[in-house]
């Protein structure tokens, strides 16, 4: 009986891990499809362009972030608190090597450049110009939108 329960517990653990992985993959696929649909609508893409964009977004899916403004935190503008250790104290954030961060940033920049080069081949010059204009606005506004709209008054 004890062996049966241990086997059952192991099977439940393995199946729950597999389900969690499936959910993660499904969320990623949904995010890619949502991003593609939104871009197709925003830039008036044809069905052929939309399919090419879906293929491109799938190819670069790992570098994509959610497109909503408030991140994936709980309430608007609030960041999740880091976990507390056994003593109830917050651990120091990892220092990391600045070289690692620089390499990561360079890698992301190369991927973004490659993505945009392929995107430019898919879109018409007018569509791509509109896309670049929108991206520039988002970069200036930052991840939380324009300053002063939702934040505390100074």
pTM higher than the cut 0.75 = no
Q: How far apart are CA 35 and CA 28, in angstroms?
A: 11
Each of the 154 residues of the chain gets a pLDDT tens digit; together they read 778 778 878 887 787 777 666 677 788 899 999 999 999 999 999 999 999 999 999 998 877 665 444 444 444 455 555 555 556 666 665 655 666 888 988 998 999 999 999 999 999 999 999 999 999 998 888 766 665 555 444 4
Give the number of other Cβ atoms within 10 Å of residue 17's Cβ: 10
Residue linked to tokens 């896309």: 131
Give the number of other Cβ atoms within 10 Å of residue 39's Cβ: 23
Q: How far apart are CA 28 and CA 126, in angstroms?
A: 29
The DSSP annotation for 57-124 comes to HHHTGGG----STTTTSSSTTPPPPPPP-TTSPPPPPP---HHHHHHHHHHHHHHHHHHHHHHHHHS-
The most distant pair of C-alpha atoms in the chain lies apart, rounded to whole Å, by: 70
SS3 string of 12-35?
Answer: HHHHHHHHHHHHHHHHHHHHHHHH
């Amino acid at each position: 009986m004890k062996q049966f329960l241990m086997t059952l517990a192991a099977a439940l653990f393995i199946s729950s891990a597999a389900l969690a992985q499936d959910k993660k993959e499904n969320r990623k696929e949904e995010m890619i499809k949502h991003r593609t649909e939104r871009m197709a609508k925003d830039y008036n893409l044809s069905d052929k362009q939309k399919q090419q964009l879906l293929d491109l977004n799938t190819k670069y899916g790992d570098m994509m972030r959610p497109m909503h403004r408030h991140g994936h935190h709980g309430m608007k503008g609030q960041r999740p608190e880091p976990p507390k250790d056994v003593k109830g104290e917050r651990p120091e954030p990892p220092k990391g090597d600045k070289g690692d961060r620089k390499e990561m940033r360079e890698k992301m920049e190369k991927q973004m450049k490659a993505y945009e080069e392929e995107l430019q081949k898919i879109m018409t010059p007018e569509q791509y110009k509109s896309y670049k204009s929108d991206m520039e606005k988002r970069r200036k506004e930052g991840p939380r939108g324009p300053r002063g709209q939702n934040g505390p008054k100074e």
